[in-house]
């Protein structure tokens, strides 16, 4: 990734061959890396499906920069470089700059931004969320956690809305923000042990204190009455965000509803699997089998008019 950032340079407008190569790249990356999203995205019709592959690939690549094992200063420089290239690619869609060269992503990314008019701010917010992950994680309270969830998850949902198409204006965007928070709270519970092993804790510090839980308890996977109560508190909060955002499904365009339903059902099922036995989240990463995800996608396609092919 470092070489990509260092070697990226301004280039001419993407040829059709480069665009085709870029579309293949983002599709293959999504298929390989999007363990939960891919099953839902397959239900979208073209060209929305390819646009979402480009959005996911963009998100995945900046996440990889932040999570790399290289020194923090190098990762920060790479994120700065990625932000400059992002702005250049967006400017290129308006004929104000040459298309960035040096990475296969940019042609498909620019096509997605141009076709669906995704606001630049959501990409700036995505990068800001990754910058936050460069620092030692400190989440003092839920207000701070909510802001973090917005930057790393809700902004992806907002960008997806522009691809899906939606009605309802700002109210719909707020529902999407809440759905993204629900997804990220689920991710946090799913990844408790993995994050603790890396020195990261995304649970609010004031709530950990209230329930008598320490970061050392998380790292050790120690199950106490306080730990169980803390996890159940987080589970109920995530459930509330899923419930608060239920109106979102009817506000996206009909051809995107199967995808949104399937992705939500996958994440909600992971949450309920954790809720059934919270202690399992302290031992391993909780997920759904491929067959369970395929079944959810099949239900979405059959009962909600999906177009998987």
- The DSSP letter of residue 247 is G
Q: pLDDT by residue (tens digit) across 14-42?
A: 468 889 999 999 999 999 998 788 888 99
CA distance linking residue 181 with residue 242, whole number of Å = 9
In this predicted structure, the answer to whether residue 257 has a pLDDT above a threshold of 60 is: yes
Per residue in 183-193, pLDDT (tens digit) is: 999 999 999 88
pTM: 0.88
State the residue for tokens 């910058």: 131
Joined together, the tokens standing for residue 135 give 């620092």
Chain mean pLDDT for the chain: 89
Which SS3 state, helix, strand or coil, does residue 238 take?
A: helix
> Got the DSSP string for 145-166?
HHHHHIIIIIHHHHHHHHHH-B
Query: What is the per-residue pLDDT across 90-133, written as a single tens digit (0 to 9) for each?
Result: 999 888 888 888 789 999 999 999 999 999 999 999 999 899 88
Query: Above 90 in pLDDT, residue 9?
Result: no
Give the SS3 label for residue 10: strand
pLDDT at 304: 57
HSE-up (13 A, CA, CB side) for residue 255: 12
In this predicted structure, the answer to whether residue 290 has a pLDDT above a threshold of 60 is: yes
Annotated domain spans of the chain:
1-117, 136-309
Q: Which residues of 269-281 are buried (b: 16+ CB within 10 A; e: fewer)?
A: bbbebbbeebeeb
Pull the structure tokens for residue 5.
């950032």
Fold assignment, 136-309: Farnesyl Diphosphate Synthase (1.10.600)
| Tens-digit pLDDT profile for residues 210-238 | 999 998 898 888 889 999 999 999 999 99
């Amino acid at each position: 990734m470092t070489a990509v950032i260092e070697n990226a340079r301004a280039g001419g407008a993407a040829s059709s061959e480069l665009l085709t190569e870029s579309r293949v790249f983002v599709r293959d990356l999504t298929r390989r890396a999007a363990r939960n999203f891919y099953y839902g995205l397959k239900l979208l019709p073209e060209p929305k499906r390819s646009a979402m592959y480009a959005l996911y690939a963009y998100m995945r690549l900046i996440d990889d920069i932040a999570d790399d094992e290289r020194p923090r200063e190098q990762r920060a420089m790479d994120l700065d470089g990625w932000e400059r290239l992002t702005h250049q690619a967006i400017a290129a869609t308006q004929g104000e700059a040459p298309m960035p060269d040096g990475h296969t992503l940019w042609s498909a990314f620019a096509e997605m931004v141009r076709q669906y008019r995704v606001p630049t701010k959501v990409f700036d917010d995505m990068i800001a969320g990754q910058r936050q992950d460069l620092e030692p994680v400190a989440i003092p309270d839920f207000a701070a956690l909510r802001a973090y969830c917005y930057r790393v998850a809700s902004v992806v949902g907002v960008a997806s809305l522009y691809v899906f198409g939606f009605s309802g204006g700002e109210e719909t965007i707020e529902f999407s923000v809440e759905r993204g928070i629900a997804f990220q709270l689920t991710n946090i519970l799913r990844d408790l042990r993995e994050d603790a092993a890396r020195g990261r804790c995304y649970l609010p510090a004031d709530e950990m204190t209230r329930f008598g839980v320490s970061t050392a308890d998380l790292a050790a996977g120690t199950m106490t009455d306080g730990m169980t109560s803390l996890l159940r508190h987080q589970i109920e909060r995530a459930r509330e965000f899923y419930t608060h955002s239920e109106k979102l499904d009817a506000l996206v365009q009909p051809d995107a509803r199967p995808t949104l339903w399937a992705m939500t059902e996958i994440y909600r099922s992971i949450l309920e699997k954790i809720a059934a036995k919270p202690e399992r989240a302290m031992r391993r990463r909780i997920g759904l089998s491929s067959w369970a995800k395929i079944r959810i996608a099949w239900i979405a396609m059959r009962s909600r008019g999906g177009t998987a092919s």
